[in-house]
Structure formats: structure tokens, C-alpha cells
Amino acid sequence: MEKNKINYEGKIKPQRLDKKPKRQFWFFTWLINVLSRILMFKKIKLEKINMESLKGKPYVLLSNHQDFADFEVCSLATFPKRFSSIATLEGHYRRAGLLEMCGCIPKRKFTTDINLIKQCEIVLNEYKSVLVIYPEARYSPIGTRAIIPDSYAQLIKKLNHPVCVILHRGNYLRSPAWGWRKKRKVKTYSTIKQVLTKEDVEKLSEAEIMEVITKELDYNEYAYQKENNIIIDAPFRAEGLHKVLYKCPHCMAENMKSQGERLYCPDCKKEWELTVTGELKALSGETEFSSPPQWFEWERQEVRKEIDSGAYGFEGQVDVYSLPNTKNFIPLGMCTLKHSQKSGFTIEGSYNNEDFIISRPVAGMYGVHIEFDYCYIKPEPCIQISLSNDTFVCFPTKENVVMKLLFATEELYKVEMEERAKRRAQRLQELKNEEKE
């Protein structure tokens, strides 16, 4: 059995990701702008900071990511300049031609793509367009910034153009990833700001560039709600929140549920209310975490403890669909998904009478894509594991597991990188000692 290969009987061609990107067709620059104006009418305030010197010039635009509305706001902020976005391949599902005309460059998430730099250079140098990148690579689960890998500083250095950050506030509160089907009434506020001039990009070290972009991309939607006294009194405001806050801080069971404005634990029966100002309040006893992001970070620490003690591991049944190209999701049936410190992710299954193993080691994945209510196949939580030529959308049969798998992916990656750094330092020390002798 060959690893990382599905027996498609030669009938399926994987999507080419090395194509030259198309320049955004001018008609779409206008059309996207008009549609975005209509969709965001009276819902948004947009402010431009330090952008005057960039009139008519190409630049790199980094955007935080909370909801599809971010794309619409990016179009409003960059208009009338043409822009190209790096977009997930699944977004191209059944409309690849249209998205390419809109300037989108399809990518598979959390994989290394050797064509990316060249494609970005074409957008900036040849088309003189704005290059839009969402470094978090998925919608924020709890309204705070995700890990941004250091490789972004290398990319920015290589591209050698001014860098702007567009920061959206309120898009998560309006439409959280765990409950996006019913919108809350929240006015959003976005700023677009030049954070690095071309000279800065040339002058600053990679570490200094990382410091600037991570600081500028920092956000906390619940802090924003509190500071601006935003009232969200929708009676369904906590519905789905248990998909992110899955672990009970009272009895430690990973079995939380939600209904209406409440989160509750069926095991110990403790209940919390998500108040209209975005705070959590225990209906009896101590309120462990009043801020949802605090609860979230506590869960991450709990996963890290499991990893550090050697107890972490996942094995479960998943219903899998693959996406080798943008034409169809192919049902591969029930498979076994495993996740461990030693082997990273593996998916084991059988298709067209041939067994397969898909494998992604820990070192190659600083994050993973998860969804809480997937819009393309079925409205359930899923985790997506990508190779360079295929993507596997896995729906676990067990509830409340995808968020923990994401924490584990990020923490295992951190552990791996820390261990590598330690080994490197040790080796350097040994070489120094040898020289002395």
C-alpha cells in the first residue's frame, strides 16, 4: 500500500496549484465593490490610517479572519485598486473559473506550496494589484488572533513591498464560526493601516517584522464588545458555543452543550449564561471564567498538560470526503482518524477495494483547518487534513472533538519546535567543546 494515495482508478485529476494567477478582471473589481456595499450597507464603519502614500501603488494586505464579510470589507477598503486574495481551494468548489477571474489564488491549507512566492510576485510586480492574505488561514474560533508562523516575515521580506493590516472588529460578534447561520445585530468597525513601508521591510529583521505584524493583527472581540458597550440580546446568542468551549471547568468532562443563551454540562449539571455584554456567568456557584477567550486558553493548557504527561492521543471514526479538485467532494466512507505526538495525523480507510493511509507528521503542521457547521457537505463539525494534491474533510462520529484536535495540533507543533531548538543548541555546544579540545 502506497502512503498518501487514494485509488481513484485514474479517473480523477488533482487540481493544479501552480498556474499563473489571473489579474482581477476590472468588471469584477466593480461588481464585488457594488455587492459588498449593498451587503454591508449601514453595518460597517471603515477607517483608513497612513494610507495616502500608497495611492495607485501595490502592497501586501494582511487581514484578520472572522467571517466571509472580511472579504467584502477588504474590497471596500482597497477599491478602486484591483486585488488578488489567497483563498482556500474548497472556496473554489464548482466555481473555480469565476474565482480565478476575481483574482483568487487557490491553496490547500496548512501545506507548503513552492509556487506561492512566484504567484504573489506576479500579483504585485506584474499586475500592480493589492495582494490580500489571511495569515490565520481560518475563521477565528473564539474571536482572538490565531498563531501566525514566522514564515510570514520571510515572505514579506522576499516580496519587498509595503505592508498594510486590515483589522475587522465585530464580524465575529455578528457571525461567530460556531453559530454563523443566525446573525446578531452588531455594527462592525474595520481599520486599514500601513504598518510597514518598503524601507521598513528592507531595514527591519525578520523578528522585528513578526513583532509588528502580530501586534497589529491582535484582536479580542469580547474586549471590543465590552469597551464599546455592545449589547447582544439575541435569545440564541450562546447556541453552538459548546463546540469551542467543550470542556467543563467544574467536573472536567468534555461533553458541554448549549441552548439559547446558556452553556451547560450534562455530566455535573452546571450552567452558565452568556450575558448580553458577552460575559459568562455561572447560574450557581463560582464563575470559573467570565471571559470566553479565558476559558478557551484554559482548554489549550489542559491539552498541553496531556501532551507533556504523555497521555495525549486521539482515535475515532470519521466520515471522510476528499477534494482532489474543485469539481466534487468524493465520499470515501468511514475511516479511522488517529492523532498522536509520534505520528501526527493518520487517516486509515479503503476506497475502490484498496486500503489507504494518509499521513501528516507533527512537524509540517503549525495548525489545522476545522469547521463547526460546514456549508459544503453537511452542517456538522469537521476537520480537514490536506496533502499537496488532495484534501480530506473528516466528520467525527463523536461530538466535541474538533476543537481539541486543533489545540493538540498547535501544541504538538510548539513542542516539536522547542525540542528541535534544544537539539540544535546542544549540537552547537558540542561543536564548540570539540573546537576547544
Q: Which residues bind Zn ion (CB under 5 A)?
A: 248, 250-251, 253, 265, 267-268
Q: How far is the CB of 299 from Zn ion (least distance, A)?
A: 13
Of 2 and 286, the one with the shorter C-beta distance to Zn ion is 286
Q: Which residues contact 179 (CB under 8 A, 6 or more apart)?
A: 236, 239, 240, 241, 372, 373
Of 228 and 255, the one with the shorter C-beta distance to Zn ion is 255
Of 266 and 361, the one with the shorter C-beta distance to Zn ion is 266
Tell me the helix, strand and coil percentages in the chain, rounded to 5: 35, 25, 45
Distance of alpha carbon 329 from alpha carbon 190, whole angstroms: 35
Of 302 and 373, the one with the shorter C-beta distance to Zn ion is 302
| Amino acid type, 5 | K
Distance of alpha carbon 331 from alpha carbon 70, whole angstroms: 31
Q: How far is the CB of 24 from Zn ion (least distance, A)?
A: 51
DSSP string computed for 104-141: -EEE-TTS--TTHHHHHHIIIIIS--EEEE-TT-S--S
DSSP state of 21: P
Query: Do residues 325 and 13 touch, judged by C-beta distance below 8 A?
Result: yes
Q: Which residues sit opposite 244 in a β-bridge?
A: none
Distance of alpha carbon 128 from alpha carbon 131, whole angstroms: 9
Q: How far is the CB of 369 from Zn ion (least distance, A)?
A: 29
Q: How far is the CB of 264 from Zn ion (least distance, A)?
A: 9
Q: How far is the CB of 51 from Zn ion (least distance, A)?
A: 49
Of 110 and 264, the one with the shorter C-beta distance to Zn ion is 264
Q: How far is the CB of 246 from Zn ion (least distance, A)?
A: 11
Q: How far is the CB of 272 from Zn ion (least distance, A)?
A: 10
C-beta pairs of 377-384 under 8 Å, 24+ apart in sequence: 377/321, 377/329, 381/243, 383/318, 383/337, 384/90, 384/109
Backbone angles phi, psi at 306, to 5 degrees: -60, -40
Q: How far is the CB of 400 from Zn ion (least distance, A)?
A: 12
Of 265 and 385, the one with the shorter C-beta distance to Zn ion is 265
Q: How far is the CB of 370 from Zn ion (least distance, A)?
A: 23
Q: How far is the CB of 266 from Zn ion (least distance, A)?
A: 8
Could you tell me whether strands 391-396 and 314-322 are parallel, antiparallel, or unpaired per DSSP bridges? antiparallel
> What is the enclosing helix (H) or strand (E) of 357?
strand 354-360
Of 160 and 259, the one with the shorter C-beta distance to Zn ion is 259
Of 35 and 268, the one with the shorter C-beta distance to Zn ion is 268
Distance of alpha carbon 193 from alpha carbon 7, whole angstroms: 48
Of 266 and 333, the one with the shorter C-beta distance to Zn ion is 266
Of 121 and 271, the one with the shorter C-beta distance to Zn ion is 271
CA proximity to 184, closest of 194, 193, 176, 195? 176
CA angle 331, 332, 337 (to 5 degrees): 125
Could you tell me whether strands 163-169 and 60-63 are parallel, antiparallel, or unpaired per DSSP bridges? parallel
Query: Do residues 242 and 263 touch, judged by C-beta distance below 8 A?
Result: yes
